[in-house]
Structure 1
Amino acid sequence: MRAILVDDEQLALKQLKQIFERDIDGVEIVETCSDPYKVLEIATKHLPDAIFLDIRMPEIDGLKLGEQIQTRLPDVEIVFVTAYDRYAVQAFDLHALDYIMKPVQTDRLRRTIERLQGRFKKRKANHIHGVQTPFIYCFNQIRYQLPGVEPQTIKWRTSKAQELFAYLLHYRGRTIDRSTIIELLWPNLEVSRASQQLYTTIYHIRQTLKRIGLETISISSGDLESGYKLIIGNARVDVDEWENRLKQLGVPHLEHIKEHERIFKQFDGNYFGEYDYLWAEHERERLRLLWLIQARNLGRLYIEHGMAEKAIQVYRIVQQLLPDVEETYFTLMKLYKAVGDIGGVEEQSWLLSSRMDREWN
């Protein structure tokens, strides 16, 4: 098992590492970190099994950092280590595996490691037997998949319930103020009526998740009903896994070409592509750009190695999903010319001319 230790106090960090090295078997400390702003970068680089995270740190507290880690790396287990016991409820609300008090006692740490190892054994057994955790799809349309079942769309009672779930899923792990939600979904209603609509819609979402078997996904209320937060538990999200794997692979190279092709094809539609949600446009564009960069790099790799037909396949998929990228048409003209397909060159010229005529008259 691989772990990262995080604490802004160097002495506490050193002592915890010494306990692991001296008394705990089966755990490799891949890195320690005293700068909370570097934790996400380090975690993305190493992809540890667990992160032992201090709560009280300057400028950013461990609870907020834990939310960010869960959003970016949902498979990483988080163990909070702190001198204060008043954060226990919030810690377990984040689905942290454990909560250890300072000064850390060896026996207490061993019990935590046993829990971690037990969870990893269960995951491995589930993988062997074909059992997976719930999976949420965000590319193209919102769907869900339970173990042993094909992906399915969610039948919502109202369009507001669908959009609110999508909005909370977009900001999963973060509390969204009631006022922000009301302004988004019911801007023209009086506050009292809008609040009632919000309560009713939250109720319908919870009932829908329960009905379709996604009990591990929950909506928690903030203090004094100040807001709502979607907690996905052990569910996985296609966007998170796709982006994490894309970053791990880096620039395409022939050694892992099959994996690069798989990741390229997983992008089968824009983020929430079937829904015209303006609030999702920034993330939609960011993911489109990540995929387009990967597509260009993959196409260049094929061209450099004389695999023009493969490159054509890549750029045709880009053209299908992102028809506004004019560069694709010119690249395909050159590729078709290289393989002697004059008809392909003429087709791309006609497609580009027709698009420009429609857009620019």
Structure 2
Amino acid sequence: MRAILVDDERLALELLQQMLEKKVGGVTVVGAYTNPVQALEEARELQPDLIFLDIHMPGIDGLKLGDLLQESIPSLKIVFVTGYDRYAVEAFEMNALDYILKPPNPKRLQKTLERFRESENKRMEADTGQALLCCFNQLQYQPAGEPPQPLKWRTGKAQELFAFMLHHRGRIVDKETLLEMLWPEYDTPRALQYLYTTVYHIRQTLKNNGLDHITISSGSFETGYRLTFGDLRLDTEEWKTQVLKLGPLNVINASNYELTLDMYKGDYLAEYDYVWAEPEREHLRGLWLRTARSLSAFYELHQLTGEAVRLNLRVQQLFPYDEECCLTLMKLYREIGDKEGVQEQYRLLAARIEGELGSSISGKVQDWYTEWDSARS
């Protein structure tokens, strides 16, 4: 990878270059600058992959320089190397790749380069792309480099059978289970005929859409069916994997939390009333909510109130009856002096909990609101 270094201290530049090229490896330093203006001018021509940037410099400080460089080279990844830790939040807001305190050491720099490689691998996968099967919200198929498109099924039974087999992918589902789920009103011989016909229609639909690598094959002794799909990507599986890889939340990977939340395009098979899908639906919703709450707490800790409000309003769209989210929003609105916002949140919650569900707001929320209202009065 090609990198440039910017630091107003020549000795620091030389030490960092030596570490990157001789002790860490895999990096070619194509420019090292003590003058930020010169670095900005030459970076446009050099088009580096990565920049290691000091923050506290005369003239143009590192944060400003990073902002200018991102405008001129959008693909550039920025690593701040500084003797001060008070700029962490600003670095996070710029979506920096990493934030390293001086003096850096080879082990820490190696972690930075591993993070860069992971980022590049994700970008390349997105660019080249494999076909994607989508289960968020509705069943769709997304060919590489094209927008998602719904699959046209012969019947509703064919769609549900495919969805159910996909849900149990890689495992044999016995025929008895399928018959009881889809054709409980028919005797076994007739229900089996419907099953065979529906499997045939599924195979034809897959073939017509270029999805021959998705196969539904008979299990051992023809007791059931198994669905396999080779190297086809599945959006829900990729999303769960991404959640598990997030790691502890900090100023550097907070942007990954945002991206992961964005990947959630709707509840699992939300457009269909498949009872068997409900456990997985709730599982994924729970993962999303826990991730969002972690990020909200991080924003609150770093006094990024606007970001916390934005995120919790998004949570509220998915979980309109969630009292914890409503209470968090009321507290955030209180912090910024928005009394109308506090009142509106309480009114919304009352309408939903009392008006729609016929229940009562929890004592915790009622007590907080009453105390706030009394103090305001």
TM-score range, shorter chain: 0.5 to 0.7
Secondary structure of 2:216 counterpart: strand
1:171-199 CA-partner distances (Å, limit 9, x unpaired): 11111000001111111111011001000
Q: Contact 1:251 / 1:294 at 8 angstroms: preserved in 2?
A: no
Q: Is the 8 A contact 2:321 2:349 kept in 1?
A: no
Aligned to 1:241: 238
1:92-241 alignment runs, 5 A limit: 127=124, 130-241=127-238
Residue deviations 1:226-272 (CA, integer Å, cap 9, x gap): 11111011101111111111111133221112111000111121111
- SS of the residue corresponding to residue 216 of structure 1 reads coil
| 1:239 to 1:196, Cα distance in 2 relative to 1, 3 A | same
Identify the residue that residue 80 of structure 1 maps to in structure 2. Answer: none
2:316–2:322 contact (8 Å) kept in structure 1:
yes
Give the fraction of aligned pairs with identical amino acids, expressed as a percent.
46
Distance in 2, matches of 1:128 and 1:264, equals: 19
Query: Is residue 297 from structure 1 mapped to residue 309 from structure 2 by the alignment?
Result: no
Instruction: Compute the displacement of 1:317 (Å).
Output: 1.0
Deviations 1:284-340 (A, max 9, x none): 111111111111000000000000110111111111012121211111111111112
1:256 paired to 2:253: yes
Would you say how many aligned residue pairs link Structure 1 and Structure 2? 237
Q: How does 1:29-108 map to 2 (within 5 A)?
A: none
Q: In structure 2, what is the Cα distance between the partners aligned to 1:350 and 1:128?
A: 46
Task: After TM superposition, list the pairs within 5 Å mapping 1:268-347 onto structure 2.
Answer: 268-347=265-344
Per-residue CA distance 1:133-170 (angstroms, 9 max, x = gap): 21011111111111121111111111101111110110
Match of 1:78 in 2: none
Alpha carbons 1:137, 1:239 under 8 Å: kept? yes
What is the identity, as a one-letter code, of the residue corresponding to 1:358?
E
Cα distance in 2 between the residues matched to 1:319 and 1:192: 49
Tell me, what secondary structure is at the counterpart of 1:255?
coil
Give the Å deviation of 1:360: 1.0
| SS of aligned partner of 1:360 | coil
> Aligned partners of 1:332, 1:217: CA distance in 2, in Å?
45
Distance in 1 between residues matched to 2:267 and 2:197, nearest whole Å = 30
C-alpha root-mean-square deviation of aligned residues, in Å? 1.7
- Give the Cα separation in 1 of the matches to 2:260 and 2:182: 34
Gaps of at least 5 residues in structure 1 are 1-123
Rg: which structure is higher? Answer: 2
Q: CA deviation at 1:129?
A: 10
Change (3 A) 1:241 1:129: closer
Say which SS state the counterpart of residue 154 (structure 2) adopts.
coil
Give the 3-state SS of the residue equivalent to 2:180 in structure 1: helix
Q: Which moved more, 1:177-186 or 1:265-274?
A: 265-274
1:199-236 Cα shifts (integer Å, max 9, x gaps): 01101111101111111111111123211111011101
CA contact (8 A) 1:175 1:227 kept: yes
CA deviation vs aligned residue, 1:38-66 (integer Å, no higher than 9, x gap) = xxxxxxxxxxxxxxxxxxxxxxxxxxxxx
Give 5+ residue unaligned stretches, structure 2.
1-120, 360-377
TM-score (norm 1): 0.63
Query: What SS class does the counterpart of residue 128 from structure 2 fall into?
Result: coil
Q: Are residues 304 and 127 of structure 1, via their aligned partners in 2, closer, same or farther at CA, if it must alter by over 3 Å?
A: closer
**Alignment partner, residue 359 of structure 1:** 357
Deviates more, 1:198-207 or 1:141-150: 141-150
Other-structure match for 1:56: none
Partner of 1:102: none
C-alpha contact 1:251 1:297 (8 A) present in aligned 2: no
Cα 1:127/1:217, change in 2 over 3 Å: farther
Q: Tell me, in whole angstroms, the C-alpha distance in 2 between the residues paired with 1:179 and 1:300.
A: 48
For 1:350, the aligned partner's letter is R
State TM-score, norm by structure 2: 0.61
Asked if 1:267 corresponds to 2:264, the answer is yes
Separation in structure 1 between the aligned mates of residue 170 and residue 241 of structure 2, nearest angstrom: 17
